[in-house]
Amino acid sequence: MDEIEREATVVVAAGPDSVVRSGPLAQKERGMSSTRRSVWSEIGGYTAALVGPPLLTLALVSWGGSDRRNYVFLYLGLVAAIGVLRGLWPALLAATISFALLDYFFTVPYHTFTMSRPEDVVNLVIFIVAASLVGLLASMRRRVLMQSEALARQLHEANTELIRLNKEQAEAAQSAIRIARMEQQVQALRQSERERLDLLANVSHDLRTPISTILAESTADLSSEDSSGRLKVIAAEARRLNALVTDMPDMARIEEHALTLDLRPMHLADSIAAAVERLNRASPARAVRWSMDEADVDVIPDWDRLGQIFDNLFANADHFSPVDTPIRVKVSQETPGYVTVRVVDSGRGVPPELRDRLFSRFFTASPDGSHHHGTGLGLAITRGLVEAHAGTINLEDRSEPGASFRFTLPKAQS
C-alpha cells in the first residue's frame, strides 16, 4: 500500500481550466519528457549548423551582389542566431562551415580553397575568431535563458506542490476541527449526564429526608404529650417539600433560559417593604434596617421575581445571623443605568473555600459548617433571576463579620 501511495499521481487544480499533476510518478514522466526534448534540440541545432550556411550561400550566390565584403556580417548574424537558439557547439560548427564557404565562393581565387591575397587570410581568420566569440556569447545567453526557464519550471513545480500541501493541510485542519467539535459534543453530553445524575441524587436525597421524617412522625402515637412537637416537625418538613417542589421548576426554567419576566417600572422601596413584611411573618424577631430615602428610586423588574430575590437573600441572612442582630439593606447608584442593592448580615460570613460553591445548585451549609436542612437552590435561583434582569450578583469581601450580597437592577428612565 505504501509503495502504491509513493508512486501515485496526485491531481491538483492549478487554475480554473487547468490540471496539474504532481508526485513521484509525474516528476519521472516530466524528467523523461525533458530528456527527449533535449535530444531533439541538439539534433535540430546541428542540423541548423549544417544547413543554414549553405542555404545563406546559395541565396547570396543567386543574388550576386557586388560588395561581397559585407557578406561576412550576414554569416556572423547566422552564427549568432544559431548560438542563441542551439548553443555553443552548433554555433562553432556553423562558423567553421561559414569560413569554408566564404573562402570558396567569395575569396579570390573563387571556387578554390586557396587565397592569393594576405588580407583575405587575415579577414577570414578574424571572421572565424569573431564568429567563435559571437557563438560563445550567444550560447552563454542561451544558457542563462535556459537556467531562467528551468528556475521558472522549478518555481511552478514548487508552487504546485505548495498548492497540494495547502490543500492537504486544509483537509487536515478541517478534520481536526470536526474531531474537536465531536470531542466538545462528547464532553457536553458527559457533563449533561453528570449533571442529570447529580440532580437525581440531590433531589432523591432532599426528598428522602423529609419524607422519612414525616413517615416516622406520622406513624408514631400522636395521642402522647409530645404530639404537638411532632406535628410541628411534620409541618416543617412538609414546608420543605413544598419549597423544593416550588424551586425545582424555577431552576429548570433558568437553566434552559426559558424564564419569562413581566418587566415594569416600579418603586424599589415598595418591593423592599413587601419583602420585609413577609420576613416578619416568618421570623417576627428579626429586624431589617433600610433607608426609605436611599430606596426612593424606580427600577425595571418583574415584581414577583424581585420579591423572590429579596425573600431568598433575607431568608439566607436570617438563617446565618444571630437572633438579636439586624439585617441591613443598602441602596446606591454606582453604575450608570443600574441601581445597586446590598443585603448585609452579621453572621460568621462565608469561608473562602466555600465561595466558589456558594451559588451552586443544592449547596447547603449551616452557621457552624454542618449540613443545613434546606433545598440548596435559593442562591442559585437568586443568581439566575438577577442575571435574567440583566444584572449581576456577587458576595463582597468584608473586613467585618457577616456576609454582604451585592446585586444590580436596571434603573428606570425618569
Q: Are 363 and 376 in contact (CB under 8 A)?
A: yes
Contacts of 243 (CB under 8 A, 6+ apart): 374, 375
From CA 233, how far away is CA 122, in angstroms rounded? 137
Reading the block at residue 144, the C-alpha cell is 542563462
The helix (H) or strand (E) run that includes residue 128 is helix 118-218
In the chain, the largest separation of any two C-alpha atoms, in whole Å, equals 160
1 has a pLDDT exceeding 50 = no
**Which of 176-180, 362-366, 410-414 has the weakest average pLDDT?**
362-366
The reply to whether omega before 109 is within 30° of 0 (cis) is: yes
Q: Which residues pair with 263 in a beta bridge?
A: 302
Query: β-strand 266-267 against 298-299: which pairing, if any?
Result: antiparallel
From CA 227, how far away is CA 119, in angstroms rounded? 150
* DSSP 8-state class, residue 308: H
Domains of the chain: 2-180 (no CATH), 266-410 (3.30.565.10)
Q: What mean pLDDT value characterizes the chain? A: 77
Q: Are 309 and 407 in contact (CB under 8 A)?
A: yes
Nearest to 377 by CA among 387, 363, 365: 363
Structure confidence by residue, pLDDT tens digits, 223-242:
666 667 767 777 766 766 66
361 has a pLDDT exceeding 80 = no
390: left (phi over 0), alpha (psi -120 to 50) or beta: left
Specify the pLDDT at position 352.
79
